[in-house]
Structure 1
């Protein structure tokens, strides 16, 4: 398959079929990752689980894959949470064209909040074999996703912007770059405003950080 749109009829039916099989607690999402990242969702069932709809953006995990920081990308049976604290059991599968380029993804998010309330009785059913918790952000606009990535990077740096020196700002920029943040349209402008630096300084820091990375 060279493009998600070439198989849209089948993939849309697949999204509907999976959702029908597992019921209203299972959100199923189809992303066309050749589209601008702020509008990758092309089909979705049970979007009430994360509050998303067709035309909304992908998550931070998709950005990391597009950035090249994940070799395969597929994640099976992992746990994450929505903004309002609901617990999801998720699986994300990525589609590639014949050249090996990522072109789309099919994601399933099953709301297990009510099941986990049963704790000991249902623990073996809800958590058996799950992978370690993964931080994944479900957003309805790409600006919120960028805000989350910036906040996470600042937490890793461990300082407020007012106390950051050059090395701290370089580290924050490098962390954002590794997470694929600069694939988001106008991300550079937002990061410049957040760090109170010019675009020239941003590109200079990115280049300096890149040159400082050890050769593989």
Structure 2
């Protein structure tokens, strides 16, 4: 059984694949009986590798031809064009009625620009400074939200309900808030004092304390 018995179907198949994935996707059919040097009998988007009908097979196709037509598909491997572009390739064996490989369907997708774009995106999204607590810094919608977020962080830092916090616990929380600039927010002292159930006098005494 010749590959040409299915030729119309194979031509429609590779055209459908090429149309689905666009001009960077080359799809070829190789007739293994035609020999390595002239194995391409159908091709879509040949500009990807610069080949046409009657041209040479790829290295993987050559290895398949050389291996006595052994049935072995190859998926998602890397190849390279003569001008250095990188392709993501797949080679699928097409058997005859006896199970012997009579042809190959090969897909070569040019991923060069995708790799460049990916490298740019990786550089763009990379984080140079990691927070020690492992959490992302929230972006508040207004200054009140900012203060509430900071108070919540100070509370979580201590890790106790306010009702059972000692003076040292509250001082730790207040020092944290000071380090984050919370006291720069207008009327923040009132809200912080209320949250930690202390007087404003105690608040500022904690701030002026040299204790850690």
TM-score, with structure 1 as normaliser: 0.52
- Find the counterpart in structure 2 of residue 7 from structure 1: 6
Q: How does 1:57-206 map to 2 (within 5 A)?
A: 57-68=56-67, 71-120=70-119
Instruction: Point out where structure 1 has 5 or more consecutive residues left out of the alignment.
Output: 124-216
Query: 1:16 & 1:69 partners in 2: Cα distance?
Result: 29
CA 1:115/1:46 → structure 2, altered by over 3 Å: closer, same or farther? same
Query: 2:87 & 2:74 partners in 1: Cα distance?
Result: 13
Query: 2:121 & 2:41 partners in 1: Cα distance?
Result: 34
- Find the counterpart in structure 1 of residue 21 from structure 2: 22
- Report how many aligned residue pairs link the two structures: 122
8 Å CA contact 2:70, 2:100 repeated in 1: no
Query: 1:69 & 1:105 partners in 2: Cα distance?
Result: 14
Question: Which structure would you say has the larger RCO, counting Cα contacts within 8 Å and 6 or more residues apart?
Answer: 1
Q: Deviations over 1:69-128 (max 9, x none)?
A: 7853211111111111101011110111122322101001010100100234667xxxxx
TM-score, with structure 2 as normaliser: 0.53
Query: 1:122 & 1:31 partners in 2: Cα distance?
Result: 37
Please state how far the C-alpha of 1:32 moved relative to its aligned partner: 1.1
3-state secondary structure, aligned to 1:34 = helix
- Find the counterpart in structure 1 of residue 52 from structure 2: 53
Please state how far the C-alpha of 1:38 moved relative to its aligned partner: 1.8
Larger Rg belongs to: 2
3-state secondary structure, aligned to 1:58 = coil
Please state how far the C-alpha of 1:13 moved relative to its aligned partner: 0.6
8 Å CA contact 2:76, 2:90 repeated in 1: yes
3-state secondary structure, aligned to 1:108 = strand
Query: 1:93 & 1:122 partners in 2: Cα distance?
Result: 33
Instruction: Point out where structure 2 has 5 or more consecutive residues left out of the alignment.
Output: 123-212
8 Å CA contact 1:91, 1:109 repeated in 2: yes
CA 1:9/1:71 → structure 2, altered by over 3 Å: closer, same or farther? closer
Q: Deviations over 1:40-64 (max 9, x none)?
A: 1111111011010001121222222
3-state secondary structure, aligned to 2:114 = helix
What CA RMSD, in Å, does the superposition of the two structures yield over aligned residues? 1.9
